[in-house]
Amino acid sequence: MKHAFLQGCIALVLGLAGLTAGATTYTTSLSGAIEAPPNASPGTGTVLVDFDIDRHTLAIDVSFSGLLAGTTAAHIHCCTALPATGNAGVATQTPTFAGFPPGVTSGTYQRLFDTSDAASWNASFIAANGGTTAGAEAALLAGLDAGTAYFNLHTETFPAGEIRGFLQPVPEPAGVAMLLAGGPLLVMLARRRRAGGTGLNAPGSDSPPSPH
């Protein structure tokens, strides 16, 4: 019994390690102090992002609470001129991530996106990066690795963003540890990859790009 349990644990760890072999995990903490300009919102949040450019998948796991007003949108923005400072346009789906909860001050969100699908992106970000989803993928990956991409949570009181955080790569093996601790979405992604496909569904939008 103990031997079987140990084998199961090892298999899980190896499976999650394999998940990150072609992917990179990024994380950040969200706060009003990081906004530009900063604000005094008591809101907080955490974000975990897994981006696999080879398999064209972007997995997002968000939790947040304490906002001063209801949510209106959430995006990943890229790329600022300098790491961890400044503002940039929206890179990901507009007017907001599909299924992101509107009008709430706390909540969670998990979603898988197919980054080979133009609907997963802001059309202007694609246009600014060669006019292809491959160009958008490469630009976002470069921004994430450079610390010039941030997750921004917009609300009714702060339309430009109430809380945000610059995404930073998670060094291995810490990335695997984070997946073990809090990545049910990424475990699901691993299972889909083993099945030979992503099975993703990321509805698009015809709304105009968000400026912040």
pLDDT of residue 5 exceeding 60, the answer is: no
Distances (CA, A) of 187 to 1, 20, 94: 24, 11, 26
Return the sign of the alpha-carbon dihedral for residues 205, 78, 19, 44.
negative
| Per-residue pLDDT at 191 | 54
* CA pair distance 211, 95, nearest whole angstrom: 10
Name residues whose C-beta falls within 8 Å of residue 8's C-beta, 6 or more positions apart in sequence.
none
* CA pair distance 94, 209, nearest whole angstrom: 6
Stronger pLDDT, 10 or 35, i.e. the higher one: 35
Model confidence pTM above 0.85: no
Burial of 166 (0-12, 13-18, 19+ CB in 10 A): buried
* CA pair distance 155, 44, nearest whole angstrom: 13
pLDDT of residue 107 exceeding 60, the answer is: yes
* CA pair distance 148, 164, nearest whole angstrom: 12
pLDDT of residue 211 exceeding 90, the answer is: no
**143-181 pLDDT per residue, tens:** 999 999 999 999 999 999 999 999 999 987 655 555 555
Q: How confident is the model at residue 18 (pLDDT cuts 50, 70, 90)?
A: very low
| Per-residue pLDDT at 103 | 98
Average per-residue pLDDT for the chain: 82
Question: Taking each helix axis from N to C terminus, what angle separates 174-182 and 2-19, rounded to the nearest 10 degrees?
Answer: 110
CB 140 within 8 A of CB 91: yes
pLDDT of residue 196 exceeding 90, the answer is: no
Look at strands 163-166 and 168-169 and give their pairing.
Answer: unpaired
**48-86 pLDDT per residue, tens:** 999 999 999 999 999 999 999 999 999 999 999 999 999
Residue 114 host element (H or E): strand 107-114
Q: How confident is the model at residue 192 (pLDDT cuts 50, 70, 90)?
A: low
Stronger pLDDT, 98 or 21, i.e. the higher one: 98
